[in-house]
Amino acid sequence: MNGKEWSIQEIAKKAGTTSRTLRHYGELGLLVPSRIGSNGYRYYGQDALVRLQRILLLRELGLSLPVIGEVLEGERDPAAALRTHLHLLEQERARIARQIASVRTTLRKTEEGEELMAEEVFDGFEHTRYEEEVSRRWGRDAYEKGDRWWRSLSEEQKKGFRDEHEDIARDWGRAHAAGLPVDGEQAQDIARRHVAWLSHTQTATRSYVTGLGQMYVDDPRFGANYDQHGAGTAEFVRDALKVYAQRHLSDG
């Protein structure tokens, strides 16, 4: 792409960020100006605009700047990456639309004194967030089983489930940072705990665990849970889970 250019002040204003942030992105090698004028001002062309859009989208997913750098470095087809992100945004829009409809229904029924239905009140909230994706990847039964289990938990139990995963994710980050082998005793013990955690909601078959591990790498929404503890942790988790699955799990 070529043609129109924007100054750093213009692009910062249009993107809802600051010139300082853009300069920081430049220092990290995330967003290089298209050119620097004789006056020292930075100018950005259309390629830079597309790259900045990707950076901001990935930031909204919770990815750290080092991880974003790795994601962008690995992208060979920006259009394909944008199509993937567009799909994620459309899924999120559908979820938010359900939440809006849910709140409107609750408000109307509350004002009119009508009886509320739990399915209406909570549609679009948390437990259904990945309904379509889980159903597509592992079948409708898998989603419904996990959903029933989640609904049966108390708030304290739900917090315990989340905290358990966070402990596992931190340990994955430490193991990766220490340079431990994915097939070593310590990494495989974390993998054992991870699979036990997964087994709360789904039978941990070999294909399920290896497929989930690959999804941690392919989908930034899930990979961010691990890469926030160190860039490259999601890949480490994937590889360690694959070893564990091959050693201990079957598809029977």
Rounded to 5 degrees, φ, ψ at 62 are 95, 10
Handedness of CA 89, 232, 71, 42 (dihedral sign): positive
Handedness of CA 245, 246, 251, 252 (dihedral sign): negative
Residue-level pLDDT at 2: 53
Which of 123, 118, 121 lies closest to 95, judged by CA? 123
Strand (E) or helix (H) holding 7 = strand 6-7
Q: How confident is the model at residue 250 (pLDDT cuts 50, 70, 90)?
A: confident
Residue 157 lies in a domain: yes
Q: How confident is the model at residue 207 (pLDDT cuts 50, 70, 90)?
A: confident
Last residue of a domain, one of 74, 98, 118: 74
Residue-level pLDDT at 119: 52
Residue with tokens 């709360």: 200
Residues 154, 66 share a domain: no
- The CATH number linked to 60 is 1.10.1660.10
Last residue of a domain, one of 45, 74, 103: 74
CA-to-CA dists, residue 143 to 120, 150, 197, angstroms: 18, 10, 16
Residue-level pLDDT at 186: 94
Range of the domain at 34: 6-74
User: What are 81-108's pLDDT values in tens digits?
Assistant: 777 767 767 766 776 777 777 777 777 7
Count of structural domains within the chain: 2
Residues 251, 161 share a domain: yes
Strands 42-44 and 35-36, how do they pair?
A: antiparallel
Residue bearing the bigger pLDDT, 192 or 252: 192
On the question of pLDDT at 226 being above 50, the answer is yes
Residue 218 lies in a domain: yes
Mean pLDDT of the chain: 79
On the question of pLDDT at 1 being above 50, the answer is no
On the question of pLDDT at 138 being above 70, the answer is no
Distance between CA atoms of 97 and 21, rounded to whole angstroms? 32
52-66, 103-117, 226-240 — most confident range: 226-240
Give me the DSSP letters along 50-113. HHHHHHHHHHHTT--HHHHHHHHHH-S-HHHHHHHHHHHHHHHHHHHHHHHHHHHHHHHHHHHT
Residue-level pLDDT at 128: 47
Residue 59 lies in a domain: yes
Tokens (6 digits) for 28: 């990290």
Residue 140 lies in a domain: no
Which of 216, 204, 211 lies closest to 248, judged by CA? 204
Distance between CA atoms of 185 and 198, rounded to whole angstroms? 20
Residues 162, 247 share a domain: yes
Read off the DSSP letter of residue 127: G
Q: Could you tell me the pTM of the whole model?
A: 0.48
Last residue of a domain, one of 58, 74, 90: 74
Residues 68, 152 share a domain: no
Residue 95 lies in a domain: no
Residue 97 lies in a domain: no
Residue 156 lies in a domain: yes
Q: How confident is the model at residue 244 (pLDDT cuts 50, 70, 90)?
A: very high
Lowest mean pLDDT among 49-63, 168-182, 229-243: 49-63
Q: What is the mean pLDDT of residues 198-223?
A: 81
Residue-level pLDDT at 46: 87
Distance between CA atoms of 77 and 69, rounded to whole angstroms? 15
Residue 113 lies in a domain: no
Residue-level pLDDT at 105: 74
Distance between CA atoms of 8 and 64, rounded to whole angstroms? 22
* Helix/strand/coil for 153: coil
- The CATH number linked to 251 is 1.10.490.50
CA-to-CA dists, residue 124 to 65, 121, 131, 219, angstroms: 30, 9, 10, 21
Lowest mean pLDDT among 36-45, 145-154, 193-202: 145-154
User: What are 51-80's pLDDT values in tens digits?
Assistant: 898 888 888 766 778 878 877 877 667 777
